Structures are given as structure tokens and as C-alpha cells.
Structure 1
């Protein structure tokens, strides 16, 4: 009876870092690679140097150490969360720069702040704040105006 495939999102540490079992058995490893690549894959000869044996033992010990696995998974999750946060931050910044661009364009056409705010669905105060910054720095581009309006905490 065939076992059902486990979705990637449901794999955990007990799965020994996804396909680790395949890597432990040279023949299974060769068979899987042959299936994936659609051609015969010859096995490489193993070099039996003492240094390689010591390294291999150390790697096996680390791979089976659950604490190392947990720390690895936590670091991996943190990187994912950092990427998501950066993506959201970038999207938010892009939306603000787009708003600044629209306000700047409409002001140059002589549209009033209240009309711009009404048209864009923004508050008059927020549009007025952007308009004041544009008037104070007419030479600045949208990205520079954004940095002036919303100074970064890192600076």
C-alpha cells in the first residue's frame, strides 16, 4: 500500500530535514536523482581519507542533534518573518510615495488641497502636510520627500 504524500508545509524535524534519509543510502540517492533528472546518474567513488571520515562523523552527529535542528529551524523562520516584514514595509513605503507623487502632480496643475484630499480619499491634514513639504522642498523628488516626511528610526 502506498503511503500518502505529506505536503511540504506539514514536514517537521522528525522528517530529518526533509529528504535526509535519501542522502544516507547511496543507492536510493542514485535512484532518486535518476528519476528526477531522467537519466542514469553514476555514483562517485568515495574517498576514504581519515579527514573525510572525521568530517562525515561530525556532520552526521550535527544532523541528528535535535537542538541544532531546532535552532536551524528557528533561524530559518526568523529570516522568513524578516522578509515578510521588509516586503510589507516596502509596499507601505511605495504606497506613500505614490500618494506624494499624486499630490505633487495635482498641486502643479493648480488643484486645491481639499479637492486632492477628497479625490484621493485622504484627510485634508495629511494632504496638507505633504503639500507643505512639497512647497518647502520643490526640487526634491518623491522618495526624498518621503524620507523628509517619515524619517527612519535608523537615521
Structure 2
């Protein structure tokens, strides 16, 4: 079983911190501005340094990486992410989320209910689909293989088309 990181060790590739950070409309706007303004071209030399900084920051959401960023927008986002990481309320929420996940896995194993886990996963994927996340994004957030996410997404689409 995966070892739980402390809240302060999380980065924006961790589902929990990304969800919390994306609850802040300013963080959403910052990320979308940086990404969408840089996805028009197909040549890496045309990618802005700010996008490269954002991607590095997402991998390691630390003071050090933020300090290396020239982008004031990323530094401001880092300030807000630090507030999330420092919040006792968020720490409790993170611990509960982690414990919930472990309990669900243990119950599924103890009772042999793989179907229950799949139903939960399907429900989570459906919620992420409603927020327009891609299969790759959902896969990273839920730490599930992208092919499994794609299969469940197809299943959900098929059910909606009935």
C-alpha cells in the first residue's frame, strides 16, 4: 500500500492538493491562462518559459522551485498553495480522505467486493468527467491506470446514450 505523504510534502500532481488548489478560482485562471496561451503551436521552441516553469512547479510545489520561477503569477499561486498546505482544516480533511481511501480498500479486500471499488471508482470518474477533466488528468488524480479510466469513461458514455 502506498505510504501517505504529509500534506506539506504534496505537490500539484497529487490529486488531493490539486483539487484543493483548483477550488481557488484564481489558481484555475492562472493555470488555464498559462496553458491555453501556450498550446497553439506544435514546436517546443515556441513554448513559453512560464509554461515550463508551471510544469516544473506542478511536479515539485516547493519554496525552492517557486523561488526559481520568474513568473509572478506562479509565485502568487505558490503563496495560495502554501496557505492550503498550512491550513489545519485542510490537514484534517486530507487525513480523513486518506483514511477513507484505506478503509474502502480494506473493506473491499475483506469482503471480496471488487465490484464496490469499481462502482466507487466509476462514481469518482463520472464526477471528474462532469468537470471536463481528460482521461490522463483523471488517471493522475485518482492514481489509476489511464486505460482503466478510459474504459470506465466509455462505459459511462454508453450508459448515458441508452
TM-score with structure 1 setting the length: 0.32
Largest Rg, 1 or 2: 1
Q: TM-score, normalised by structure 2?
A: 0.31
Structure number with higher helix proportion: 2
Higher relative contact order (CA 8 A, sep 6+): 2
